[in-house]
Amino acid sequence: MTSRSKRTFILALGGFVAIRVAPVHAQAARMPKIGLLSGSAETGKMEQWFIKGMGELGYEEGRNVRYESRHGDGSNETALRNARDLMASKVDVIWAPGTQVTTAARKVTSTVPIVFALVSDPVASGFVRSLARPGTNITGITVLNAETGAKRIELLNEIFPKLTRVGVLHNPGDSASTAQLSIVTRAAQTLKKEVLVVEARSADEFAPAFARLAEWRTDALVILENALYVAHRQLLLDQATQRRWPTINSSKEYAEAGGIIAYGADWSDSCRRSAVYVDKILKGAKPADLPVEQPTKFEFVINLKAARAMGLSIPRAVLVRADRVIE
């Protein structure tokens, strides 16, 4: 073989190798990993709503995305430990459905993007500088639980106008609960209601809190939204039902579990739409530049079956306005 022929063969072989190597590098590209940081096992279906939203955007687990999940027990300590675990697993984005888990994620990283859903007040909680300009590694969708708190009190008064004493269950260890407290108590006092706020920072404090409300002879119970109470939602509602206290909450999930009234943002819609933020971040956007989105869909749900079981009547004029009546 002549020298020229040898050079031609080597160049041709080099071109062949280059063509063969390119697909191998493409296959070896790192698949993005999303950390799912949930407050409790009770919030498992929130993950399903988020993953559904990711699926609608073309993401399929094992093909072009991986998910790493951590479920808490409603406590701040477990949420923080789970957030650290996710960071150790080198996730690219943390998805956090709720104020408590977003707080935990913020404590462990100021660089890895955090996308939240179901947060009551991201500004008051210190997650973002403003809704329009987050300016941090955090963004997402708020559910405006604090702002809609006054509306829930108005509905409670409209449905049960004769009640005079409103009990409020508050978790001072969760900024979501704190953000709602002043708005709810002020709204009740404006309607000339007496208000008793009882605190419960853990499940062990539920019994004494309910005992105090019973001694005070409350007429109704407002459960302020936070991760601990979501985790023990059924227990709280069962205790209220046994005492024949009508309850009002911010999500239909409470009404479906036996609560009487629910009014607030649609959790499933917020979780599903938060996937859009993760998609944008994976494509290069910075959380600091993505404005926080407010809810577009609110639901008013009445559990008429539960009300009747407690001997309570709901005005017809209110029932026809409800988005859903559970019978």
Residue 194's DSSP bridge partners are 165
pLDDT at position 29 is 64
Amino acid (1-letter code) at residue 134: P
Q: Say if residue 317 is exposed, middle or buried (CB neighbours under 10 Å; 0-12, 13-18, 19+).
A: exposed
Q: What is the CA radius of gyration of the chain?
A: 25
pLDDT at position 263 is 96
Residue 198's DSSP bridge partners are 169
pTM of the model: 0.86
Amino acid (1-letter code) at residue 95: W
Amino acid (1-letter code) at residue 38: S
Kindly give the interhelix angle for 99-108 and 175-190, rounded to the nearest 10 degrees: 140
CB-CB contact of 117 with 97 (8 Å) = yes
pLDDT at position 15 is 45
H helix count then E strand count, the chain:
14, 12
pLDDT at position 45 is 83
Query: What is the residue extent of each domain of the chain?
Result: 33-143+267-296, 149-265+299-326
Rounded Cα distance, 313 and 215, in Å:
25
Strand duo 93-97 + 33-38: pairing: parallel
CB-CB contact of 69 with 44 (8 Å) = no
Residues (pLDDT < 70) of the chain are: 1-29, 42-43
At which residue do the structure tokens 């709602």 appear? 180
**Chain-centre distance of CA 327, in angstroms?**
27
Amino acid (1-letter code) at residue 67: Y
Strand duo 261-265 + 165-170: pairing: unpaired
Q: Say if residue 228 is exposed, middle or buried (CB neighbours under 10 Å; 0-12, 13-18, 19+).
A: buried
pLDDT at position 176 is 86
pLDDT at position 133 is 97
CB-CB contact of 95 with 34 (8 Å) = yes
pLDDT at position 10 is 41
| In this structure, CATH architecture of domain 149-265+299-326 | 3-Layer(aba) Sandwich (3.40)
CATH 1.10.10.10 fits 33-143+267-296, yes or no: no
CB-CB contact of 154 with 312 (8 Å) = no
Residue 23 tokens read as 């697909």
